[in-house]
């Protein structure tokens, strides 16, 4: 019962009931990415994502980012995208976590580019 109520009222937990109904009746499954997110398109051309876990827009990899934003390029038409050895795998937004980027994080110091005039 609680899961059903969450689907009606809470959009950040998972897909809402209205999105589920729209996906069933009007959505055409286009594909899925490595994270398990599913991508749909309507006959009118509207596109949306059903996220696997927590809803976070930074979880969309660049292959699907161009598709969802109607950017036309060769990526959306091919499934076998050549990855180079220097390319890193996609990561969601790491801000606020232990994996976030900080300069000199390994030295445990922060070098300021200025000196405060008060001590």
Q: What is the pLDDT of residue 74?
A: 55
Asked whether residue 106 is assigned to any structural domain, the reply reads no
Asked whether residue 92 is assigned to any structural domain, the reply reads no
> DSSP 3-state assignment of 49?
strand
> What average pLDDT does the chain have?
76
Asked whether residue 30 is assigned to any structural domain, the reply reads yes
For residue 53, the 8-state DSSP code is S
Confidence (pTM): 0.59
Asked whether residue 8 is assigned to any structural domain, the reply reads no
Q: 7-12 contacts: CB < 8 A, separation 24 or more?
A: 11/55, 12/54, 12/55
Question: Domain range holding 57?
Answer: 13-77
Asked whether residue 38 is assigned to any structural domain, the reply reads yes
Asked whether residue 25 is assigned to any structural domain, the reply reads yes
Q: What is the pLDDT of residue 98?
A: 80
How many structural domains does the chain have? 1
Asked whether residue 61 is assigned to any structural domain, the reply reads yes
């Amino acid at each position: 019962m609680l899961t059903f109520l969450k689907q009606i009222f809470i959009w950040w937990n998972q897909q809402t009931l209205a999105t589920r109904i729209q996906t069933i009746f009007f959505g055409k499954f286009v594909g899925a990415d490595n994270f398990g997110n599913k991508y749909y398109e309507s006959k009118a051309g509207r596109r949306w994502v059903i996220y696997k876990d927590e809803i976070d827009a930074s979880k969309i990899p660049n292959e699907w980012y161009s598709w969802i934003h109607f950017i036309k390029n060769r990526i959306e038409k091919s499934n076998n995208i050549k990855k180079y050895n220097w390319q890193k795998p996609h990561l969601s937004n790491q801000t606020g976590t232990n994996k976030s980027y900080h300069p000199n994080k390994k030295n445990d110091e922060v070098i300021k580019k200025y000196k405060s005039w008060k001590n």
